[in-house]
Amino acid sequence: MNGWERVKSSKSRFGRHSHISSDDRPSRTVRLGHVQPQAPTHRTIYCNDRDANLTVKFKGNSISTTKYNFFTFIPKGLFEQFRRVANLYFLMISILSATPFSPVSPVTNMVPLSLVLLVSLCKEAYEDWKRFQNDMAINNTLVDVLQDQRWEPIPWKKLQVGDIVKVKQDGFFPADLLFLASTNADGVCYTETANLDGETNLKIRKALERTWDYVTPEKAWEFKGEVQCEQPNNSLYTFTGNLIHQKQTLPLTPNQILLRGCSLRNTEYIVAAVIFTGHETKVMMNAMNVPSKRSTLERKLDKLILTLLATLFVMCFIGAIGSATFINRKYYYLSLGKGVEAQFNPDNRLVVFAATMLTLVTLFSTIIPISLYVSIEMIKIFQSTQYINKDLHMYHAETNTPALARTSNLNEELGQVEYIFSDKTGTLTRNMMEFFKCSIGGEVYGTGITEIEMGGAQRTGNRVEMYKSANAVHEKGFNFDDARLMRGAWRNEPNPDMCKEFFRCLAICHTVLPEGDDSPEKITYQAASPDEAALVIAAKNFGFFFYRRTPTMIYVRESHVEKMGKIDDVAYEILNVLEFNSTRKRQSVVCRYPNGRLVLYCKGADSVIYERLAPGQDDLKRITRENLEQYGSAGLRTLCLAYRDLSPEIYEGWNEKFIQAKSSLRDREKKLDEVAELIEKELILIGCTAIEDKLQEGVPNCIETLSKAGIKIWVLTGDKMETAINIAYACKLIHNDMKQFIISSETDVIREVEERGDPVELARVMKEEVRKELSKSLEEAQSCFRTVSGPKLALVIDGKCLMYALDPNLRTMLLNLSLNCTSVVCCRVSPLQKAQVTSLVKKGARKITLSIGDGANDVSMIQAAHVGVGISGQEGMQAVMASDFAIAQFRFLSDLLLVHGRWSYLRICKVVTYFFYKNLTFTLTQFWFTFQAGFSGQRFYDDWFQSLYNVMFTSLPVIIFGFFEKEKCSASGMSAQWHLPVLL
């Protein structure tokens, strides 16, 4: 973990700077995931002019993620400690022991309390010191800043708004920057944003054409632009502003902004201007406190302490009544009526009662163990660092990733989990895309069988045998088995020309960057998504090897095109790239062949491609659609491919409009989309691709084991219902013996209303249909439970129905139905719905819940559950940063819950019981002696022995018990101890 990742981790857990402050606007609270409305004012920044920016007094670039500073450590630290009931109680006892009513020396109470507070404060100081060191490492990182026509290295903390900086390859951006120029042609650079949004794929950023020349320090010194932009905010994906340069106003978009925390890739260096610094950068404004989670046992511990306080009060009350009754002048040795002892004056028994009450409170104070919290914290930290973090059974050798307990507060909570909410992609599956099947010109290629298909076969009771030919090629990103296309055999297919177009579309229509040697065995691809990399790798294996690109050219080594054994290096000129976005759902490239042929290649979702096909392809469209449905049922991710030949006249006319839209200052994105519509039409369908995302190793066995342990598992996925059900079968989450309740929006009644296009009527009908289905399913579920050997139940519901089922009027019905089910699958759900479902069960069922996911879209679900587990997988570290525990593979969850969770729960429970037992025994002895001493409040034990009983004499046996106590392994049934943790 590098310095930046460490400070990012600290920010996620301890980020407290949730304000944006500036001289020209009021402060306001900013929360992650919620973009606050911006003030109407803007800020003006003078680039390369520190004197002009001094009047505005922008924030510095130094950051602090510490919880305390030199002056606040003592007051804030003590405040945190005295929020605990036990510490506050002993503070009161210490004060009371300094009064004349105390039978013990005040020092004997103050010293143990001071020791306990000292240990706790030292722990806080150590953790905050580590955060301070991380901050210093970041603040003192050097960056090149333009000063007097040369680059001068200065620490990040001295960077100011408006400075011109130079960031080298693999370096991190020190602040939010305006991208001016790069060493790459066409002003392009590539950034990795894993520290920011969890995505490991490269992003392309492009500078304004007017600033491309400012690469050298001499040239950059001439740059004197003025930036007018929005105020600092926490929206990672938006930016509005203008650059006024040489009396021209140039619009700025997020495409020209480089955010702090991202790193530069595949670019020698870039030159940029500082826009936002320090705590006004977007990454720092997204720093937030992870919700404070307390374990159920800790909350019960507070109640137990309050119960002991009530017991203490009863004991003191009995003693005080006895003293007021028993007191008599014949007990001359009490020196009645003289000095302080006047409290025992038999003539004023009410004073005797009150004075004895205070005396006995001090005397019986040991009923509450002063070292309880410290001992439990030590035990939890030991369990986390020595058992969970070092268990080889939860170590993933491939990625060198051990398990990580990010907090020690919830160890015992793991042993009480009853509901697990899991994401699918990257959590149950590997998120490692492999080209698996394809359809070209209506012909299906690929003979493999997916795990999901095997699950579907199990669902119908059929048996499927896996077969793989000896000549099958399998590399990372490619798992295709069909001899008809491999090694040039496609030339003998009925549609060789269509195959050729298919392979060229894969090799040309993308934004992938090649790295390394230009040989098929050594080259690596940097892609915007794993799907895109898989398609390029597929083209390579089919004989169309993409090995080099420049801003205007793509080079493809084509083999087996005209005849076997012939290899040609073909250079395709890339004229235009129509980029993919969530609205377009497609990507297009206009290229020119060496012979002058102009072609538009397009790939995208089947729905958008089919709308733009030329007429006369009905048979091909029907066959390809059937193939798409078949691939979807097998759990494969699909894309459609199409192309269009362009005449020079059509292209030239369109390109003029494209250039105009590209240089437009207003609504540029909208105009580019409109121009793209003009050429992305009359397409010829080539076929479709199918990419597999396999299940992680051990997932079915893990789910089966957890189910046997009585834990109910819910899968929340964005897949189609059919795919989700097949995945559930493959994971052994659902099997044929279960009774399934399926609540879907794909019914004839709902489709009929959708066709009318009335949203109000649709909402009313859907809510009524969902209510009927829930009511009917709930009745059937209850009838199943009335039978002696009723089947296990499973619920499958899609996102549209779930939206209405979460309505306050139907929520109770949904909760009752789902709690009766062993397995629940929610498909087509949004990140918000994941969190809503988790909260519904957490609050409604009052059971311990656990959420597990790997992506930024799982953060809300992870934070909503009692325990959050992050998978440190392919989608970066965003889920891990928000989690309480991190593991590398889903299968490790069984060890985490059934071994470490259960042992931690049993140990802490026994430690608490042990503590209360020994303290009650100790105190009740003193209580019984009170009866023998005439309720006079005389002590049975020495002062120091009484005070050090908890802190010194009996603490070690309890702590050792908490470290090493284990449950005995039973010969039959589910036992938590199926293995001993093998430590690193």
Distance CA 858, CA 874 (A): 14
Q: Confidence class of residue 21 from pLDDT cuts 50, 70 and 90?
A: very low
SS3 content of the chain, % helix, strand, coil (to 5): 45, 20, 35
What is residue 200's predicted lDDT score, i.e. its pLDDT?
57
Q: Confidence class of residue 483 from pLDDT cuts 50, 70 and 90?
A: confident
Number of domains in the chain: 3
Residue 215 lies in a domain: yes
Structural domain harbouring 230: 159-286
160, 274, 855, 868 from 431: Cα distances, Å: 41, 36, 11, 20
Is residue 167 domain-shared with residue 243, that is, in the same domain? yes
Q: Confidence class of residue 984 from pLDDT cuts 50, 70 and 90?
A: very low
Q: Average pLDDT, stretch 461-466?
A: 60
Give the distance from CA 199 to its chain's centroid.
Answer: 11
Query: pLDDT of 596-637, one tens digit each?
Result: 999 999 998 888 899 899 988 889 999 999 998 888 777 788
- Higher confidence at residue 572 or residue 724? 572
- Higher confidence at residue 812 or residue 10? 812
Is pLDDT at 274 greater than 50 in this prediction?
yes
Distance CA 243, CA 251 (A): 6
Residues 6+ away with beta carbon under 8 Å from 145: 151, 152, 153, 154, 159, 163, 164, 165, 166
Distance CA 499, CA 438 (A): 11
What ranges make up the beta strands (E) of 793-895? 793-798, 823-827, 848-853, 867-871, 885-887
Is pLDDT at 4 greater than 80 in this prediction?
no
Other beta carbons less than 10 A from residue 575's beta carbon: 17
Residue 296 lies in a domain: no
Structure tokens at 455: 């699950």
Is residue 201 domain-shared with residue 278, that is, in the same domain? yes
Structure tokens at 562: 């005209």
Phi first, then psi, for residue 236 (nearest 5°) are -70, -25
Q: Average pLDDT, stretch 968-980?
A: 44
Distance CA 19, CA 28 (A): 6
Distance CA 525, CA 366 (A): 67
- 337 forms beta bridges with none
81, 300, 815 from 846: Cα distances, Å: 29, 14, 12
Contact 354, 100 (CB under 8 A): no
Q: Confidence class of residue 975 from pLDDT cuts 50, 70 and 90?
A: very low
What is residue 124's predicted lDDT score, i.e. its pLDDT?
78
What is residue 566's predicted lDDT score, i.e. its pLDDT?
75
Share of the chain above pLDDT 70, in %: 85
Is residue 506 domain-shared with residue 625, that is, in the same domain? yes
Is residue 458 domain-shared with residue 564, that is, in the same domain? yes
Single out the residue of 315, 310, 308 nearest to residue 363, CA to CA.
Answer: 315
Residue 894 lies in a domain: no
Q: Average pLDDT, stretch 377-385?
A: 86
What ranges make up the beta strands (E) of 872-929? 885-887
Residue 328 lies in a domain: no
Residue 213 lies in a domain: yes
Least confident segment among 92-101, 567-576, 773-782 = 92-101
Mapped onto helix, strand or coil, the DSSP state of residue 934 is coil
Is residue 748 domain-shared with residue 685, that is, in the same domain? no
Query: pLDDT of 185-233, one tens digit each?
Result: 668 888 877 666 555 567 778 888 888 889 898 988 988 888 988 888 8
Mean pLDDT of the chain: 80
Distance CA 830, CA 853 (A): 14
221 CB-side CA count, 13 A:
10
Distance CA 731, CA 747 (A): 27
Q: Average pLDDT, stretch 668-694?
A: 87
What is residue 469's predicted lDDT score, i.e. its pLDDT?
60
What is residue 410's predicted lDDT score, i.e. its pLDDT?
84
Angle between helices 902-932 and 349-363 (to 10 degrees): 140
Residue type at position 43:
R
Is residue 672 domain-shared with residue 786, that is, in the same domain? no
- Decide: residue 650, CB within 10 A, 0-12 exposed, 13-18 middle, 19+ buried: middle
For residue 576, what is the domain's CATH number?
Answer: 3.40.1110.10
Give the distance from CA 456 to its chain's centroid.
Answer: 30
Structure tokens at 810: 């139907």
Distance CA 845, CA 826 (A): 18
Distance CA 829, CA 815 (A): 17
Distance CA 567, CA 571 (A): 13
- Higher confidence at residue 790 or residue 46? 46
Of the residues 786, 820, 854, the one at which a domain ends: 820
Is residue 682 domain-shared with residue 797, that is, in the same domain? no
Of the residues 261, 286, 311, the one at which a domain ends: 286
Phi first, then psi, for residue 734 (nearest 5°) are -125, 140
Of the residues 257, 286, 315, the one at which a domain ends: 286
> Which residue blocks in 364-450 are alpha helix, DSSP H?
372-382
- Torsion from C-alpha of 968, 969, 971, 974, nearest 10 degrees: 120
Is pLDDT at 341 greater than 60 in this prediction?
no
- 549 forms beta bridges with 554
Is pLDDT at 671 greater than 80 in this prediction?
yes
Contact 175, 852 (CB under 8 A): no
Q: Confidence class of residue 40 from pLDDT cuts 50, 70 and 90?
A: very low
Question: What secondary structure letter does DSSP report for 22?
Answer: B
Q: Average pLDDT, stretch 497-514?
A: 91
* DSSP character string of 681-728: -SBEEEEEEEEEEEEPTTHHHHHHHHHHTT-EEEEE-SS-HHHHHHHH
Q: Average pLDDT, stretch 477-481?
A: 87
What is residue 685's predicted lDDT score, i.e. its pLDDT?
94
Is residue 179 domain-shared with residue 266, that is, in the same domain? yes
- Higher confidence at residue 6 or residue 696? 696
Distance CA 941, CA 944 (A): 8
Q: Average pLDDT, stretch 495-505?
A: 92
Residue 748 annotated in active site: no
For the whole model, what pTM was predicted?
A: 0.68
Residue 940 lies in a domain: no
Is residue 683 domain-shared with residue 806, that is, in the same domain? no
Question: What secondary structure letter does DSSP report for 31?
Answer: B
Residue in the block written with tokens 């990625």: 399
Q: Average pLDDT, stretch 924-944?
A: 80
- 426 forms beta bridges with none
The bridge status of strand 199-206 relative to strand 188-193 is antiparallel
What is residue 258's predicted lDDT score, i.e. its pLDDT?
92
Single out the residue of 476, 493, 484, 460 nearest to residue 527, CA to CA.
Answer: 476
Rg (CA), the chain: 35
Is pLDDT at 79 greater than 50 in this prediction?
yes
Single out the residue of 139, 143, 78 nearest to residue 113, CA to CA.
Answer: 78
Is pLDDT at 103 greater than 50 in this prediction?
yes
Catalytic residue among 128, 197, 423, 854: 423
Residue in the block written with tokens 């036990």: 86
Which helix H or strand E contains 179, and what residues bound it?
Answer: strand 176-182
- 429 forms beta bridges with 695
Distance CA 245, CA 875 (A): 39
The bridge status of strand 712-716 relative to strand 684-695 is unpaired
Q: Confidence class of residue 448 from pLDDT cuts 50, 70 and 90?
A: confident
What is residue 55's predicted lDDT score, i.e. its pLDDT?
82
Give the distance from CA 742 to its chain's centroid.
Answer: 29
Which helix H or strand E contains 11, and what residues bound it?
Answer: helix 3-14
Residue 842 lies in a domain: no
For residue 245, what is the domain's CATH number?
Answer: 2.70.150.10
Is pLDDT at 746 greater than 60 in this prediction?
yes
Distance CA 554, CA 590 (A): 12
Angle between helices 451-460 and 721-730 (to 10 degrees): 90
Distance CA 414, CA 490 (A): 55
Is pLDDT at 742 greater than 50 in this prediction?
yes
Least confident segment among 355-369, 565-579, 926-940, 970-984 = 970-984
Distance CA 939, CA 103 (A): 7
Single out the residue of 669, 796, 802, 827 nearest to residue 734, CA to CA.
Answer: 796
Mapped onto helix, strand or coil, the DSSP state of residue 157 is helix
Is residue 669 domain-shared with residue 806, that is, in the same domain? no
* DSSP character string of 278-312: GGGSHHHHT--PPPP---HHHHHHHHHHHHHHHHH
Residue 678 lies in a domain: yes
From its phi and psi, is residue 930 left (phi > 0), alpha (psi between -120 and 50) or beta?
A: alpha
Is pLDDT at 41 greater than 50 in this prediction?
yes
The bridge status of strand 524-526 relative to strand 142-147 is unpaired
Mapped onto helix, strand or coil, the DSSP state of residue 479 is strand
Distance CA 113, CA 97 (A): 13
What is residue 195's predicted lDDT score, i.e. its pLDDT?
61
Distance CA 75, CA 187 (A): 53
Single out the residue of 358, 311, 368 nearest to residue 86, CA to CA.
Answer: 368
What is residue 738's predicted lDDT score, i.e. its pLDDT?
84
Is residue 514 domain-shared with residue 659, that is, in the same domain? yes
* DSSP character string of 524-545: EEE-SSHHHHHHHHHHHHTTEE
Structure tokens at 671: 């105009």
Q: Average pLDDT, stretch 919-931?
A: 86
Structure tokens at 806: 């979460």
What is residue 37's predicted lDDT score, i.e. its pLDDT?
44
Other beta carbons less than 10 A from residue 811's beta carbon: 14
Is residue 565 domain-shared with residue 628, that is, in the same domain? yes
Other beta carbons less than 10 A from residue 597's beta carbon: 11
The bridge status of strand 553-559 relative to strand 544-549 is antiparallel
Is pLDDT at 31 greater than 50 in this prediction?
no
